[in-house]
Chain A
Amino acid sequence: MSRAKLPRKSTNIDMTAMCDVAFLLLSFFILTTKFKPAEAITVTTPSSVASKVAPDKDIVLITIDKNGKVFLGLDDEDIKGAMVDIINKQKNLSLDANAFKKAEFYGTPFSQLPQFLKIPKEDLKGDALPGIPVDSTKGPNELIEWMGVIHTAYENSGGKKINILLKGDNDSKYPSFDAVVKALKKNDFLKFQMVTNPEAVPVGSDLYKQPREDEGKK
């Protein structure tokens, strides 16, 4: 009895399927990646060895752009609603509460706020705005008042957490930073976080020698 001869199979594998999978995954990743939204204020942050990821909820974001202009942004609409009431009362402005809530950041002196809120979102560019005045040599540091308003708004919110983030540009000068820190101190915000890019811990430094878990405490 002769054995049935098995036909020789080619060792070539059809790559089409694998290729399909690869590109399916690729398109999945491209589509799900959250691209950085085009920011109204362009800021290049410095880098640090801090390994804690910046919070993205309940934030008060103070931005310093490269010219030292200061902007303030919040994400919580309830807080913004409380803020607009306080500002209207304190400053005798009749701000549109809805427009105030919709605005992602504020970057003008109080006196120009009504006009500022009328600017459509697409046209808001950090370069064209004056920023919140902080230079105490040229006038009052209005950020102190802003932070005061935020402080009151958070106190009345019934124990909401507050994360103060400071996002400064590499090239901004120290006085702006100093003014922001002073404004925070004045309102008893003694803890804040600075947004940075991650950086590797230099080999051989004291932090490098420390066990990993100690780093989290800082």
Chain B
Amino acid sequence: MAEMDTSSGGGHKKGPGVKKGKKLSTRVDLTPMVDLGFLLITFFIFTTTMSQATAFKLNLPKDADKPEDQNKAKESGVLTILLGKDNHVFYYEGMLDNNNASSEFKSANFGNGENGIRTIIMRKKANTPPDDFVVVIKPNNECTYKNVVDILDEMSINVVKKYALVDISEVENQLVKVTEAAGK
């Protein structure tokens, strides 16, 4: 096919006084090119399957729920997560009132470290009877969509069965803002 006759029939029979220039082979080693080709193929195959977007399901409760119905969760089993601006996360356990606001209200982050929200959720989950465990998520107006999805994702990562997305109260919003301002 794409070969060239390089043997030049009987060219090696050199005459006594005739010096012939060395014939260089015109054959190119195509192995690296094949390698490259297959490398690109694998690259394309992988990138195409990976760009497939996935969907994260979220089922909403009916809005008709009265406030009395929502408070059925046991106080001891509730973990409230508050989301603020610049990826700030705060949390408290149980109820928050004026007396314990400063001690119970703690800050966390999105990492997996000691202070990461995942560790906190896991710890709370381990210390609470499964039926009582509820996570309440309260994003404030300055947090981003990514934060919300991340925290919902944490729910599925940690297999939290009961969680709720609730509007933040004014008091909590103030606490978040004060803490954020103090942290700077």
Contact = CB atoms under 8 A, between A and B. Distances in A.
Interface of A: 12, 14-19, 22-23, 25-26, 29-30, 33, 36, 45-55, 64, 165, 168-178, 181, 184-186, 190-199, 201-202, 205-207, 210, 218
Given A26-B41, A174-B139, A218-B57, A48 B34 contact: no
Q: Is the interface of A mostly helix, strand, loop or mixed?
A: mixed
Interface residues of B, number: 55
A168 B149 contact: yes
23 contacts: A16-B1, A16-B2, A19-B30, A23-B37, A26-B37, A46-B145, A46-B150, A48-B156, A51-B54, A53-B52, A55-B55, A170-B144, A174-B140, A174-B147, A174-B148, A178-B167, A191-B57, A194-B149, A195-B54, A206-B122, A207-B156, A207-B159, A218-B156
Q: Is the interface of B mostly helix, strand, loop or mixed?
A: mixed
Interface string B39-63: 0110011001011111111111111
Contact of A26 (B29, B44, B61, B139): B44
Contacts of B30: 14-16, 18-19
B44 A172 contact: no
B1 A19 contact: no
Given A16-B2, A205-B157, A191 B149 contact: no
B59 A191 contact: yes
Contact of B31 (A15, A52, A190): A15
A190 B144 contact: no
Interface of B: 1-3, 27, 29-31, 33-34, 37-38, 40-41, 44-45, 48, 50-63, 83, 112, 118, 122, 125, 139-150, 152-153, 156-159, 165, 167
B38 A174 contact: no
Nearest to A176: B145
B85 to A, nearest CB: 9
Nearest to B153: A48
Most interface-central of B37, B53, B125, B145 (chain A CB within 10 A): B145
Task: Enumerate the 4 nearest inter-chain pairs by beta-carbon distance, A residue then B residue, closest first.
Answer: A22-B37, A15-B30, A193-B55, A54-B55
A33 B33 CA distance: 22
A116 B89 CA distance: 40
Given A14-B3, A30-B44, A36 B51 contact: yes
Given A172-B145, A201-B157, A45 B53 contact: yes
